[in-house]
């Protein structure tokens, strides 16, 4: 069953991969494609990888190309944007979640192994590979992306779509996207994401830093200042440490409360006595060895 959405409601984004000639190198181009659900208008661009920087750049270029932002964007369950998928919901990468809030769209990840959920963009990825790139060679990455933009506006936008029986550019007139206005591009804070290890330590750089043990297994963010690291879970700073030299382990005893022996604990005054009838004065006397030497010379018994 084909799922249709009203104007401005939804876009679908995904990556596809195609090897192309750039100069004298035959390289893998990672094709980011954004497809508007109502009009089927698409925006393609290519990157050398599919990391989070490429995801954010692809989104922003598409928003600028279309002149606005849809209410919802359907994405793949790729690691750059989705940290975990459970029955209770999706754990988004905090940078992508902040990016979505900045532009005012709601991200939605389809269920794993169900790519048909975003069939519009899947279809367009194949269209870009077979129509825009077949038999082409490019002098540079900028040459490749300039061609993809030209192809999108002169070929893909004006074709009669097989499902809507209209050209995407004609239906685009009815799209109701949220205008970008004069907002600047998203300024990404360099946020590191880590999973707290079983010893309640978080790897930062070449050292490890502690957090309270109750956060073992949790996803945390690292905020770096000029002299310290702040470790954040959701919106709460759970640990703060000065930056240490490489290959150090920095532990705050308070993070292991109840698990470590308190500092300065007084040792037991005497070894435990398991026999209740053992007399208190029966401990062996401790003498200097010279006493035994003198007795041995005299042949006496101590």
CATH number of the domain within which 30 lies: 3.30.420.10
202 and 157 within one domain? no
223 and 84 within one domain? no
158 and 26 within one domain? yes
Mean per-residue pLDDT for 156-162?
Answer: 94
Statement: residue 3 has pLDDT above 90: no
3-state secondary structure of 267: coil
> Which among 256, 281, 296 is the end of a domain?
256
28 and 100 within one domain? yes
Q: Is residue 261 a part of any domain in this protein?
A: no
Q: Quote the CA–CA distance of 185 and 69 in Å, as a whole number.
A: 13
The residue with greater pLDDT, 58 or 299, is 58
Range of the domain at 31: 10-179
Say what the pLDDT of residue 219 is.
92
Say what the pLDDT of residue 281 is.
61
Q: Is residue 213 a part of any domain in this protein?
A: yes
The CA distances from residue 169 to 39, 66, 114, 128, 148, in Å, are 7, 11, 29, 17, 16
Q: Is residue 5 a part of any domain in this protein?
A: no
Statement: residue 135 has pLDDT above 80: yes
Structure tokens at 240: 């703060």
Q: Is residue 151 a part of any domain in this protein?
A: yes
Structure tokens at 234: 């959701």
CB of 118 closer than 8 Å to CB of 126: no
CB of 42 closer than 8 Å to CB of 33: yes
34 and 167 within one domain? yes
Say what the pLDDT of residue 289 is.
78
Q: Is residue 44 a part of any domain in this protein?
A: yes
Statement: residue 223 has pLDDT above 60: yes
The residue with greater pLDDT, 268 or 82, is 82
Give the total number of structural domains in the chain.
2
Q: Is residue 300 a part of any domain in this protein?
A: no
Statement: residue 91 has pLDDT above 90: no
Percent of the chain residues past pLDDT 90, beyond the cut: 56
Q: Is residue 276 a part of any domain in this protein?
A: no
Alpha helix stretches (DSSP H) within the chain? 52-66, 94-103, 119-127, 141-151, 168-172, 289-298
Mean per-residue pLDDT for 169-183?
Answer: 93
Q: Is residue 157 a part of any domain in this protein?
A: yes
Structure tokens at 125: 């990825």
87 and 21 within one domain? yes
The residue with greater pLDDT, 121 or 27, is 27
152 and 246 within one domain? no
Say what the pLDDT of residue 214 is.
93
Statement: residue 179 has pLDDT above 70: yes
159 and 40 within one domain? yes
Which of 180, 123, 125, 121 lies closest to 148 in space, CA to CA?
A: 125
CB of 249 closer than 8 Å to CB of 267: no
231 and 156 within one domain? no
The DSSP bridge pattern shows strands 137-138 and 10-22 to be parallel
Say what the pLDDT of residue 249 is.
93
201 and 169 within one domain? no
pLDDT tens string 16-74 = 999 999 999 999 999 999 999 999 999 999 999 998 889 999 999 999 999 999 999 99
203 and 161 within one domain? no
Type and span of the H or E element at 233: strand 228-233
155 and 66 within one domain? yes
């Amino acid at each position: 069953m084909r799922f249709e959405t009203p104007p401005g409601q939804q876009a679908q984004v995904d990556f596809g991969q195609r090897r192309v000639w750039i100069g004298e190198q035959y390289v893998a181009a990672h094709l980011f494609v954004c497809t508007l659900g109502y009009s089927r208008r698409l925006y393609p661009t290519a990157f050398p990888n599919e990391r989070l920087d490429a995801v954010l750049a692809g989104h922003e270029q598409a928003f600028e190309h279309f002149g606005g932002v849809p209410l919802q964007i359907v994405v793949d369950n790729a690691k750059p944007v989705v940290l975990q998928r459970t029955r209770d919901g999706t754990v988004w990468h905090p940078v992508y979640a902040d990016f979505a809030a900045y532009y005012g769209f709601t991200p939605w990840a389809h269920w794993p192994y169900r790519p048909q959920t975003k069939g519009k963009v899947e279809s367009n990825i194949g269209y870009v590979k077979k129509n825009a790139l077949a038999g082409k060679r490019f002098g540079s990455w900028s040459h490749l992306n300039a061609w993809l933009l030209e192809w999108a506006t002169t070929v893909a936008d004006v074709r009669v779509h097989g499902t809507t029986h209209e050209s995407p550019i004609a239906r685009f007139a009815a799209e109701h996207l949220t205008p970008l206005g004069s907002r600047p591009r998203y300024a990404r804070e360099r946020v590191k994401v880590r999973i707290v290890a079983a010893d309640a330590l978080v790897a930062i750089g070449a050292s490890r830093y502690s957090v309270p043990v109750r956060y073992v297994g949790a996803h945390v963010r690292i905020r770096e200042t000029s002299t310290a690291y702040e470790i954040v879970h959701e919106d709460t700073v759970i640990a703060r440490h000065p930056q240490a030299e490489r290959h150090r382990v920095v532990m705050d005893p308070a993070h292991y409360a109840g698990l470590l022996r308190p500092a300065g604990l007084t040792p037991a005054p005497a070894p435990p006595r398991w026999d209740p009838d053992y007399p208190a004065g029966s401990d062996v006397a401790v003498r200097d060895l010279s006493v035994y030497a003198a007795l041995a010379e005299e042949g006496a018994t101590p």
